[in-house]
């Protein structure tokens, strides 16, 4: 039976297409006469191509896709010999696979299609090609695989037929563009299919590490870096062979061994076999390619975090020795503009704070004793002579057992002293000889000074707090931590000498140094000062100026608010306020709101609506994974639930939520792409608690459903547009009807993401206001009763017997 005849006999629910042969179309030679009109007039005419033949048809949208393919395969015009089950439809121009979900959209716009092999057949053929040793076949196959692997139907069949193993073999032996295409395909596979890690073979990580360390081509090293970063973050179990534990005989033994079979353990083991690996990665931080820089910094961050979590500080030490901290500081200088993405740098800052805090709590052990030998060698006191029995007292320690004097600063204090002593510009040996030439009570104990300065800097940079929130502002001086320590130590020694201080003045000089640290390094970030100015202020500030400033600080500061218990209370209340506002913002997403679709954004509406304003009502699903919406020419009431919202956006695709910046989208100039910090200096936590979607907390009206009579769109001057971005570009742009809705939604969508931050000043102000109100209420409970707030609590010992009673005043 001919295709035309089959159409005539089909029921209305099964009609697939109608093909006709125009007199001037030679590709349809031999077609049957046009049958009666079977489709609605709105069904556009489309062309389907197969090999060098084509057919002109009208396709009924109600007919299933497999039935359409079956009838096309039976068409006499296309002359298909194979079974219809081996075929699929692809959009001719883009090559996108046509599915049941996308068929209506393609038909509505009158696209042309190719009748081509089905995803299952393509997957089978692709695996066979990957197993080939012909270079040309491999190159063409891996080039095609980059796009095919993005399709779920192809990917499932590809994995089922052993495609992952075949792709690994190609990566192990390929070079040039074939290797680049293979790495890109594997990167896409891992992004789409987390189970893919389970199929990686032992030795594959070594190949990726080798590629990063040896391949100079960006198109090869870039996807390899992305893959290694992803692998280092994967938790066990994996299918790798049991990973060897890290050598505990090294100078910085890990306190916790990495889990056997974890991604980090596998990566760490192979990196140790490549001595120049980290040097090469650090060198790429200065690359002009932004993506290469971000990927390299992302890899550094993942390895830094993994090493810190197991208590292995060698990675941070080696990174600092290779001047990786400075490289990231220079990178920060080039990204000062408000539109630059500082997320990777802020992540490194978080990892650095965590590493320094870990070292602050790590006690001195025999593995660190070599640092004492380095300090003694740098002092040059052995050449100067003297009693060797008092060597450590001559360096400024209180006893001949210096390891016990680092209880408050841990191994970080010892490293800082060793770093200060070993740097020739710090003149450690000369300073020791100078102070030893003075009378005993006027000698400056340099080792004790170094430990004291380390404690001051730990407080200033919040290293000692133990809280690791995600910072909202970069701190360039933290990236020069040991240099700041050296400058402050030199400052302490200079003020001691200029003021003629004695041992009884130690606390006075310490207070002056603390004042100078606060003034020179600034509040939270101090980013407005250059490093040259910081050096000048530490090295050349005179005693009188510092003393006058300290007296002014003492006269104006509020002693209560600066006590440690109050500072800790403020930090805890900030975290609670942050979570409260975050929960409220996400609740607004669940309620939904109307947004105007910018004229520059395609709406998908039919032509008859194209001239009017298009509104969209968005509502977040209860699982917080999908954003549902519906388009309309007017705003009106929307029933609860998602039944009236047929369209959807998968939030897993969203990579960033940013205010629109182009003039065409009315970007708010007052909302650059950055997050707001709070005056308290606190910031959002890295590990957030989960809140119920049905939160009842409300800080302001959400204006979810404006009055139906209000049909005017917000003017361009309101600047209330923001965009959702994916890895492939713009997902959608939304113009809020009011500033309140703008603040609620841009911050709500941003805070849904694990790495999201507060974007608007309004939300940041809410968090700050709630924190200050909560702090004042708590303090009123104490100060109203004239209770003295201690600077520190002294816990009494356990009673020797039960012969005691509680005081009535307690």
pLDDT reported for residue 28? 32
What mean pLDDT do residues 782-807 have? 64
Q: What's the distance, Cα to Cα, between the start and end of the chain in Å?
A: 99
Q: How confident is the model over 727-774, as pLDDT tens digits? A: 888 888 888 888 889 989 988 888 888 777 888 888 888 898 898 888
Q: For residue 457, what pLDDT band results from cuts at 50, 70 and 90?
A: very high
> Is residue 405 within 8 Å of 399, Cβ to Cβ?
yes
Q: How far apart are CA 721 and CA 629, in angstroms?
A: 17
pLDDT reported for residue 212? 92
> Is residue 463 within 8 Å of 353, Cβ to Cβ?
yes
CA Rg, the chain, in Å?
A: 34
Neighbours of 371 (CB within 10 A): 19
Q: How far apart are CA 165 and CA 200, in angstroms?
A: 7
Q: What is the dihedral sign for C-alpha 254, 260, 265, 271?
A: positive
What mean pLDDT do residues 695-712 have? 34
DSSP conformation letters of 788-807: PPPSS--PPPPPSSS-----
Q: What is the dihedral sign for C-alpha 286, 287, 290, 291?
A: negative
Most confident range, picked from 254-268, 520-534, 589-603: 589-603
Q: How confident is the model over 159-173, as pLDDT tens digits? A: 888 888 899 999 999
Kindly tell me if the per-residue pLDDT of 692 is higher than 80.
no
* Three-state DSSP class for residue 608: helix
Place of tokens 């004793």: 369
If phi over 0 gives left and psi between -120 and 50 gives alpha, with beta otherwise, what is residue 666?
left
Task: Name, in order, each residue with C-beta under 8 angstroms of 58's C-beta and a sequence gap of 6 or more.
Answer: 17, 18, 19, 38, 39, 43, 44, 45, 46
- CA angle at residue 687 from 682 to 690, to 5 degrees? 110
pLDDT reported for residue 364? 92
Q: How far apart are CA 375 and CA 428, in angstroms?
A: 9
Determine the distance from the C-alpha atom of residue 181 to the mean position of all C-alpha atoms in its chain, rounded to a whole number. 26
Q: How far apart are CA 84 and CA 66, in angstroms?
A: 8
Kindly tell me if the per-residue pLDDT of 693 is higher than 90.
no
Kindly tell me if the per-residue pLDDT of 119 is higher than 80.
yes
DSSP conformation letters of 98-157: P-HHHHHHHHHTT--EEEEE-HHHHHHHHHHHHT---HHHHHHHHHHHHHHTTSHHHHHH
> Is residue 17 within 8 Å of 71, Cβ to Cβ?
yes
pLDDT reported for residue 608? 42
Kindly tell me if the per-residue pLDDT of 467 is higher than 80.
no
> Is residue 213 within 8 Å of 277, Cβ to Cβ?
yes
- CA angle at residue 765 from 764 to 770, to 5 degrees? 105
Distances (CA, A) of 670 to 259, 272, 702, 732: 47, 48, 21, 21
What mean pLDDT do residues 666-673 have? 38
Length of the chain: 810
Kindly tell me if the per-residue pLDDT of 717 is higher than 50.
no
pLDDT reported for residue 192? 83
pLDDT reported for residue 604? 54
Lowest mean pLDDT among 247-251, 254-258, 589-593: 247-251
pLDDT reported for residue 363? 92
Kindly tell me if the per-residue pLDDT of 35 is higher than 80.
no
pLDDT reported for residue 88? 84
State percent of the chain over pLDDT 90.
Answer: 20
Neighbours of 506 (CB within 10 A): 17
If phi over 0 gives left and psi between -120 and 50 gives alpha, with beta otherwise, what is residue 483?
alpha
**Segment 790-795 long-range contacts (CB within 8 Å, at least 24 positions apart):** 790/563, 790/565, 791/563, 791/564, 791/565, 792/564
Kindly tell me if the per-residue pLDDT of 236 is higher than 80.
no
DSSP element (H, E) containing 593: strand 593-596
Lowest mean pLDDT among 72-81, 586-595, 620-629: 72-81
pLDDT reported for residue 481? 93
Q: Which two structure tokens, joined as six digits, stand for 520?
A: 């020179």
Kindly tell me if the per-residue pLDDT of 483 is higher than 90.
yes
The residues pairing with 629 across neighbouring beta strands, listed in sequence order, are 618, 647
CATH class of the domain at 3-117: alpha beta
> Is residue 521 within 8 Å of 534, Cβ to Cβ?
yes
State percent of the chain over pLDDT 70.
Answer: 75
DSSP state of 439: -
Q: Which of 738, 733, 568 is nearest to 667 (CA)?
A: 733
Q: How far apart are CA 226 and CA 205, in angstroms?
A: 12
Place of tokens 């194209």: 610
Q: For residue 233, what pLDDT band results from cuts at 50, 70 and 90?
A: confident
Domain boundaries, the chain: 3-117, 363-557, 567-770
What rounded mean pLDDT belongs to the chain? 77
Q: How far apart are CA 681 and CA 518, in angstroms?
A: 14
Which strands make up the sheet holding 87-91, listed edge to edge? 17-19, 53-59, 45-50, 113-117, 87-91
Q: For residue 129, what pLDDT band results from cuts at 50, 70 and 90?
A: very high
Higher pLDDT, residue 349 or 242: 349
Query: Exposed, middle or buried: residue 91 (CB in 10 Å: 0-12, 13-18, 19+)?
Result: middle
Q: How far apart are CA 7 and CA 10, in angstroms?
A: 5
Lowest mean pLDDT among 422-431, 481-490, 651-660: 651-660
Q: What are phi and psi of 244, to 5 degrees?
A: -75, 145
Query: Parallel, antiparallel, or unpaired for β 626-632 and 17-19?
Result: unpaired
Higher pLDDT, residue 415 or 153: 415
Most confident range, picked from 11-20, 143-152, 310-319, 477-486: 477-486
pLDDT reported for residue 420? 93
Q: How far apart are CA 488 and CA 484, in angstroms?
A: 6
* Three-state DSSP class for residue 459: helix
Q: How far apart are CA 709 and CA 711, in angstroms?
A: 6
pLDDT reported for residue 557? 56
Neighbours of 322 (CB within 10 A): 15
pLDDT reported for residue 754? 78
Higher pLDDT, residue 94 or 481: 481
Lowest mean pLDDT among 80-89, 195-204, 481-490: 195-204
Q: How confident is the model over 177-212, as pLDDT tens digits? A: 999 999 999 988 888 876 656 667 768 888 999 999
pLDDT reported for residue 352? 92
Burial 110-120 (b: 16+ CB within 10 A, else e): ebebbbbebbb
Q: How confident is the model over 502-517, as pLDDT tens digits? A: 888 898 899 889 989 9
Kindly tell me if the per-residue pLDDT of 635 is higher than 90.
no
Q: How far apart are CA 172 and CA 183, in angstroms?
A: 10
Determine the distance from the C-alpha atom of residue 636 to the mean position of all C-alpha atoms in its chain, rounded to a whole number. 38
Distances (CA, A) of 290 to 86, 296, 345, 657: 43, 10, 13, 19
pLDDT reported for residue 333? 83
What mean pLDDT do residues 626-649 have? 88
Distances (CA, A) of 272 to 232, 238, 266, 568: 14, 20, 10, 40
Q: How far apart are CA 136 and CA 773, in angstroms?
A: 70
Q: Which two structure tokens, joined as six digits, stand for 525?
A: 């970030």
Q: How confident is the model over 291-330, as pLDDT tens digits? A: 889 999 999 999 998 888 888 888 889 999 998 898 998 8
Neighbours of 422 (CB within 10 A): 14
Evaluate whether the domain defined by 567-770 bears CATH number 2.30.29.30: yes
Q: How far apart are CA 729 and CA 745, in angstroms?
A: 20
What mean pLDDT do residues 473-484 have? 90
Higher pLDDT, residue 196 or 726: 726
Kindly tell me if the per-residue pLDDT of 255 is higher than 90.
no
pLDDT reported for residue 611? 53
Q: How confident is the model over 550-585, as pLDDT tens digits? A: 777 765 555 666 677 777 888 888 899 998 998 998
What mean pLDDT do residues 537-544 have? 87
* Three-state DSSP class for residue 658: strand
Kindly tell me if the per-residue pLDDT of 668 is higher than 60.
no
Q: How far apart are CA 359 and CA 463, in angstroms?
A: 10
If phi over 0 gives left and psi between -120 and 50 gives alpha, with beta otherwise, what is residue 353?
alpha
Q: How far apart are CA 590 and CA 365, in angstroms?
A: 54
pLDDT reported for residue 83? 83
């Amino acid at each position: 039976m001919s295709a035309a005849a089959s159409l005539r006999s089909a029921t209305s629910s099964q009609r697939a297409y109608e093909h006709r042969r125009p007199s001037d179309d030679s590709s349809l030679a031999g077609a049957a006469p046009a049958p009666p009109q079977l489709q609605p007039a709105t069904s556009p005419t489309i062309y389907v191509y197969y090999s060098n033949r084509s057919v002109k048809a009208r396709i009924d949208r109600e007919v299933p896709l497999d039935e359409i393919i079956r009838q096309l395969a039976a068409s006499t015009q296309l002359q298909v010999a194979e079974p219809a089950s081996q075929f699929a439809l692809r959009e001719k121009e883009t090559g996108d696979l046509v599915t049941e979900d996308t068929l209506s959209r393609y038909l509505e716009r009158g696209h042309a299609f190719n009748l081509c092999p089905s995803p299952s057949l393509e997957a089978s053929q692709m695996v066979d090609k990957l197993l080939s040793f012909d270079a040309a076949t491999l190159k063409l196959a891996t080039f095609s695989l980059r796009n095919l692997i993005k399709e779920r139907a192809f990917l499932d069949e590809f994995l089922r037929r052993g495609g992952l193993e075949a792709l690994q073999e190609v990566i192990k032996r390929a070079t040039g563009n074939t290797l680049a295409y293979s790495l890109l395909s594997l990167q896409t596979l891992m992004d789409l299919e987390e189970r893919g890690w389970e199929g990686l073979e032992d030795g594959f990580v070594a190949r990726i590490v080798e590629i990063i360390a040896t391949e100079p081509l960006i198109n090869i090293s870039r996807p390899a870096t992305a893959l290694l970063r992803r692998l280092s973050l994967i938790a066990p179990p994996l299918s790798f062979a049991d990973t060897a534990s890290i050598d505990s005989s090294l100078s910085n033994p890990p306190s916790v061994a990495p889990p056997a079979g974890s991604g980090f353990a596998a990566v760490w083991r192979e990196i140790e076999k490549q001595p120049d690996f980290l040097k090469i990665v650090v060198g790429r931080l200065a690359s002009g390619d932004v993506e290469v820089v971000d990927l390299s910094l992302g890899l550094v961050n993942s390895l830094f975090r993994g090493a810190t979590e197991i208590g292995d500080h060698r990675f941070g030490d080696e990174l600092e020795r290779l001047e990786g901290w400075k490289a990231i500081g220079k990178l920060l200088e080039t990204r000062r503009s408000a539109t630059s993405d500082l997320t990777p740098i802020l992540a490194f800052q978080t990892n650095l704070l965590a590493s320094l805090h870990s070292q602050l709590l790590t006690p001195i052990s025999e593995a660190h004793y070599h640092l004492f030998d380095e300090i003694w060698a740098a002092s040059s006191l052995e050449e100067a002579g003297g009693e060797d029995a008092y060597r450590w007292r001559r360096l400024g320690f209180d006893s001949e057992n210096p390891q016990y004097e680092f209880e408050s600063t841990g191994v970080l204090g010892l490293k800082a002293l060793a770093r200060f002593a070993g740097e020739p510009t710090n003149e450690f040996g000369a300073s020791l000889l100078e102070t030893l030439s003075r009378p005993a009570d006027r000698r400056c104990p340099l080792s004790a000074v170094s430990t004291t300065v380390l404690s001051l800097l730990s407080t200033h940079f919040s290293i000692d707090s133990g809280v690791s929130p995600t910072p909202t502002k970069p701190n360039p001086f933290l990236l020069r931590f040991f240099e700041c320590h050296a400058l402050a130590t030199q400052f302490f020694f200079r003020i001691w000498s200029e003021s003629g201080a004695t041992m009884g003045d130690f606390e006075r000089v310490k207070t002056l140094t603390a004042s100078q640290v606060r003034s020179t390094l600034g509040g939270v970030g101090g980013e407005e000062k250059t490093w040259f100015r910081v050096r000048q202020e530490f090295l050349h500030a005179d005693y009188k100026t510092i003393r006058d400033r300290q007296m002014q600080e003492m006269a104006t500061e509020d002693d209560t608010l600066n006590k440690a218990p109050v500072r800790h209370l403020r930090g805890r209340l900030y975290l609670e306020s942050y979570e409260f506002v975050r929960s409220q913002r996400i609740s607004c997403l669940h309620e939904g709101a109307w947004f105007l679709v910018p004229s520059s954004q395609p709406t998908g509406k039919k032509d008859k609506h194209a001239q009017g304003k298009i509104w969209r009502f968005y509502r977040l699903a209860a699982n917080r994974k999908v954003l549902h919406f519906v388009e309309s020419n007017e705003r009106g009431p929307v029933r609860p639930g998602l039944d009236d919202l047929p369209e959807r956006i998968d939030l897993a695709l969203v990579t960033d939520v940013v205010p629109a910046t182009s003039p065409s989208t009315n970007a708010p100039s007052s909302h650059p792409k950055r997050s707001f910090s709070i005056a308290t200096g606190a910031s959002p936590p890295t590990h957030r608690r989960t809140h119920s979607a049905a939160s009842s907390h409300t800080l302001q009206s959400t204006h979810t459903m404006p009055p139906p009579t209000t049909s005017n769109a917000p003017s361009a001057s309101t600047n209330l547009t923001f965009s959702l971005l994916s890895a492939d570009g713009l997902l959608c742009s939304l113009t809020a009807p009011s500033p309140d809705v703008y603040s609620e939604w841009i911050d709500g969508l941003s805070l849904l993401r694990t790495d999201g931050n507060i974007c608007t000043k309004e939300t940041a102000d809410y968090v700050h206001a709630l924190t200050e109100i909560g702090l004042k209420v708590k303090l009123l409970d104490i100060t109203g009763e004239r209770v003295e707030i201690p600077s520190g609590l002294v816990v009494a010992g356990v009673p020797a017997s039960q012969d005691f009673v509680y005081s009535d005043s307690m």
